[in-house]
Amino acid sequence: MSVAVHRLRATRGGIDRGALFVYAVVGVLVLVVGGILVSVVLDAFATSWFGGWLPDGFTDRWFRAAITDFDLPQILLATAFITLAVAAIGLLVGVPAAYVLARRRFRFKGVVQILLLLPLLLPPITYGIPLATMLYEFRLAGTAAGVIVANLVPALPLVVLLLTPFFEQIDPNLERAARVLGASPLRVFTRVLVPLAAPGVLAAALIVIVRALALFELTFLTSGADSTTLVVALYYAAFAPGIRPSQQIDAMAVVYMVTSLALLLAALRFVNPTNMVVRVRR
Amino acid sequence: MSAPAARRDAVQSAPAPARRKRRLDPTLLFIAPAVVLVLGLFVYPFVYGLILSFQPYGEHEADGALGSYLAFFGDPRERLSIWNTLRLAVPATVIDVGLALPLAYRLRRPVPGQRVITALFVIPLTLGTVLIAEGMLQFFGPAGWVNKTLLAFGLVQQPVQFLHNYLGTLISLLISDFPAVFLLLLGYASSIDPALDRAARVLGASWWQRTWRVTLPMLLPGIAVAAALSFVATFSVFPSAVLVGNPAGETRVIAFAAWQAAYEHFDYSLGSAIAIVMGVIELALVGAALSLRAGGYRRMRTEGAR
């Protein structure tokens, strides 16, 4: 009987008018986003697509053309190098900062916290233009180093924001116990903190990589010929339509899409989806 | 402050030598690289840009220190970019928050498939504005599936011009920004204790009373933050205004004007001036939303005390 009551309650709490509204909005979003993605994929494999509901025929020639025309291997290499470097440096600098913010109280802590949050609240194009101008002055813009430096500005605060609550929920008594039992600070770090923090750090790394891959503005403002990432190359291709057939641009989009979604799938195994957007908390 | 925390504080700050020792806490050095990086790459460029914006370049040099600002606000074409941006950002924010609020409100109690739904919202966020805008060129194009469907059902006689205009940019903003607003609001909505709603129900409050007097006031800070961040994000629209908009005309937005000044006309002073104007407007909005948040909490607390 209790099962029956439970089921009744579950259905009552499940499908109601509000839930139908949820499904309706989600349905429209799925139709639009799904439609966009499917038409991109179909067009990328189309010989041509005039007038019909479906392409006139299928081919893989646009992908082969993209490899030579866009110098795809070079773009993929630059993208991998830049996103991985951003994540690595972001973690290296951000993890200790998050640990200190979670564990210590000090003067001007509020100021430091706001300072480390601000780059996430302002859109990249706003601070990107002065930043790129400054990087040009230092002759860093146009190089991979410049792109990495620019992408660190939102990546580091993201690491701090994601990992501070994570360190807060690790019981400080574990570290104290280890110290009392005679472990050196280094040993506490490698044998207690690192194993406990690893899942959070891994999740933060994946989120930073996914976001760095999609972040257009900063790379667009600072990249040069050999530091162009996938998303910027896609923008340049789509910016000048007519020069290239749409299928070739869409082939590029498919490469970007597959990379991005594969990383997202990996990230979602470790991260709650709501953590993928910035949460302002105090 | 909890009692143990207060005690710890008292113990640490009691004797003077201990306090001096605490100031030299080596752990604090761990945070130094992060602070230096943000100061050098975020705060300093703003200062640099601010100084640069007061050093007009080229034809504006004769107008004195304010030359670049005069060039921006004085030129009707440049000034129009503010209006072009507001025309996109305000409707996009209103639609996003208006649609996301009831959605997040309902999803405080899970519906079947909740996890899949949240995961679906993350996809457009992950793909980003450039891919969405690029994909729209096919899907919303004159021979795309949207126009085909509209024509097939006889809803329109001619293909609708969705692209390279205001409408295309607005659609791309809605697709890119709505999921972010929704997930942000969902975070706030799901952190509300459901016991409050139940308590109000037990005390005889109707659905309207529970919504207006219990849940919405608690959601208000979240709504303010979501609306502010959504506005700031759409206010800085750039790639989609170029790819699916008409950057020479009705979607010549403020970010495009800043980029064009700096990177097409190499007038870094004017580009910085426009970026500073954007930054000041955005900071003011975010600051207002965050302080409203604090005010909201205060008000609720005093009302509760009464």
pLDDT digits (tens, 9 = 90+) for A137-172: 899 989 999 999 999 999 999 999 989 988 988 889
What is the spatial distance between Cα A169 and Cα A186, in angstroms, rounded to a whole number? 21
DSSP letters spanning B94-131 = HHHHHHHHHHHHHTTS--TTHHHHHHHHHHHHHHHHHH
Instruction: Please give the pLDDT value at position B293.
Output: 62
Nearest to A12 by CA among A21, A4, A1: A4
A-B CB pairs within 8 A amount to 271
Neighbours of A84 (CB within 10 A): 15
Range of lowest pLDDT (A75-89, A97-111, A266-280): A266-280
- CA of A104: how far to CAs of A112, A177, A183, A192, in Å? 12, 18, 20, 18
Query: Chain A partners of B128 at a C-beta cutoff of 8 Å?
Result: 214-216, 231, 260
B123 touches chain A (CB under 8 A): yes
pLDDT digits (tens, 9 = 90+) for A122-132: 899 999 999 99
The yes-or-no verdict on residue A228 having pLDDT over 60 is yes
pLDDT band, very low/low/confident/very high, at A9 (cuts 50, 70, 90): very low
Which B residues, 163 through 202, put their C-beta within 8 Å of a C-beta on chain A? Answer: 175, 178-180, 183-184, 186-187, 190
What is the spatial distance between Cα B176 and Cα B168, in angstroms, rounded to a whole number? 12
Q: Which residue has the higher pLDDT, A51 or A222?
A: A222
DSSP letters spanning B130-189 = HHHHHHHHHHTSTTSHHHHHHHHTTS-SS----SSSHHHHHHHHHHHHHHHHHHHHHHHH
Nearest to A147 by CA among A205, A218, A195, A204: A218
Task: Write out residues in chain B with pLDDT < 50, as ranges.
Answer: 1-21, 296-306
Find the residue in A nearest to B30 (Cα): A96
Q: Please tell me whether residue A244 adopts helix, strand or coil conformation.
A: strand
Handedness of CA B165, B167, B170, B174 (dihedral sign): negative
**Minimal CA separation from B226 to chain A, in Å:** 10
Q: Mean of the pLDDT values across residues A21-32? A: 94
| Alpha helix (H) residue ranges in A71-193 | 72-103, 109-121, 124-137, 144-168, 172-180, 185-188
What is the spatial distance between Cα A32 and Cα B127, in angstroms, rounded to a whole number? 14
Per-residue tokens: B154: 């006889």
A238 touches chain B (CB under 8 A): yes
Write phi, then psi, for A58 (nearest 5 degrees). -120, 145
What is the spatial distance between Cα A179 and Cα B170, in angstroms, rounded to a whole number? 58
Contact: B232, A276; criterion CB under 8 Å: no
The yes-or-no verdict on residue A104 having pLDDT over 50 is yes
Q: What is the pTM of this model?
A: 0.86
Classify A50 in phi/psi space as left (phi over 0), alpha (psi -120 to 50) or beta: beta
Task: Select the residue from B2, B11, B42 to test the A interface by mutation, using most A Cβ atoms within 10 A.
Answer: B42
Instruction: Please give the pLDDT value at position B193.
Output: 84
Contact: A238, B106; criterion CB under 8 Å: no
Task: Select the residue from A16, A29, A114, A222 to test the B interface by mutation, using most B Cβ atoms within 10 A.
Answer: A29
Residue found under tokens 């600070």: A185
Contact: A25, B258; criterion CB under 8 Å: no
Nearest to A250 by CA among A43, A21, A10: A43
- CA of B19: how far to CAs of A132, B1, B11, B24, in Å? 43, 20, 10, 9
ipTM at complex level: 0.87
HEC string of A54-77?
CCCCECCHHHHHHHHHCCHHHHHH
Which A residues, 117 through 146, put their C-beta within 8 Å of a C-beta on chain B? Answer: 118-119, 121-127, 129-134
Query: Chain A partners of B259 at a C-beta cutoff of 8 Å?
Result: 125, 129, 221
A81 touches chain B (CB under 8 A): no
Query: Chain B partners of A19 at a C-beta cutoff of 8 Å?
Result: 106, 111-112
Nearest to B215 by CA among B127, B290, B139, B107: B107
Is-contact A93 A153, C-beta < 8 A?
no
Task: Select the residue from B134, B183, B232 to test the A interface by mutation, using most A Cβ atoms within 10 A.
Answer: B134
A55 touches chain B (CB under 8 A): no
